[in-house]
Amino acid sequence: MMAEANKEDIFAANKHTEIINNIKKKDKNEITHQEISVIANQIRRYIVEMVHLANSGHPGGALGLADIYATLYFKILNHNPNDYKWDERDRLILSNGHVCAVRYAAMAVAGYFNEKELSSFRTLGSKFQGHPSTRYLPELENSSGSLGQGLSFASGTALGLKQQKNNARVYVCISDGECQEGMTWEAAMAASHYKLDNLTAFVDYNKIQIDGWTDKVMSLGDLGKKFESFGWNTIEADGHDIKQIENAFNKTKEISGKPSVILFNTILGKGVSFMENNPAWHGSPPNKEDRDKALDELNSLF
């Protein structure tokens, strides 16, 4: 169980937030990969607590994406928490909305809102709904719930930016499971047709969906070659190696005339040993004992 010293309100100012605040004072070019890992660990702590308090949610995928979202918000994205509708901002689209705890946590750490607000996750009237909604949280670029729609939304956004001669880039997070849906491939075809080189899709390639392993539910085959056959530039990277994550995103900025997709090999439940690679944690909230065990592991990494 958690040591008494670690039973503080994790959304309140404490030793962890002090460490993060010191990192945030740096220019993003000065933040080290190790410091991004520290931020990712803070995001994971928030995810565990949010889903536990709500007694509802999807911790597995959210934990697996923490390293990627920490890198996006602190190394890659052009964004401004104080002006979230800044016209030149990069757009980050979340398609697999059930993993929204990672998006909310990353935004809180980045300064979009106070971390304490995360405790209302999935409660009635909260801006942090179980599936993201711009009605409640206008800082988001899109509402999402039904899988398979995000790549279409992102492609339309990227095309619109090109027509406006706006140099902002579009990033869209999609799951491997939703690559089983036809709408994903219609969008992939359109993005290639319109040569949307300002669009980067990244796949949470943990090979797990709510019904089990993707290979057993409906095999995706060689996902990289599928995207290549649709005219996409394809990159594969370790979704838990900060250097590889940053390099993969930066490589997509060098591609001209076609969209890019990054297949990030991730581990569902990353950072919490008993959740890792276990399909049961796709959509199951941790009880008090599991929450304490998880935070013990994550606190030990600071």
Domain of 55: which CATH number? 3.40.50.970
Residue 181 confidence (pLDDT): 93
- Residue 5 has a pLDDT of 36
pLDDT for the residue 6: 43
Q: pTM for the complete prediction? A: 0.95
**Alpha helices per DSSP H over 89-172:** 100-110, 150-163
Q: Which amino acid is at 85?
A: K
Q: What is the dihedral of CA 261, 267, 269, 272, to 10 degrees?
A: -140
Distance CA 27, CA 184 (A): 36
The number of domains in the chain is 1
Q: Which pLDDT does position 4 carry in this prediction? A: 38
Mean pLDDT by 10 residues, the chain (302 residues): 52 85 94 97 97 97 98 98 97 97 98 95 95 96 92 98 98 96 96 98 93 89 97 98 98 98 98 96 96 95 78
SS3 category, 137: coil
C-beta separation of 142 from 93 below 8 A: yes
Q: Which pLDDT score is estimated for 210? A: 84
Question: Residue 76 is part of which domain span?
Answer: 4-299
Q: How far apart are CA 202 and CA 151, in angstroms?
A: 10
Q: Report the pLDDT value the prediction gives residue 211, as an integer from 0 to 100.
A: 86
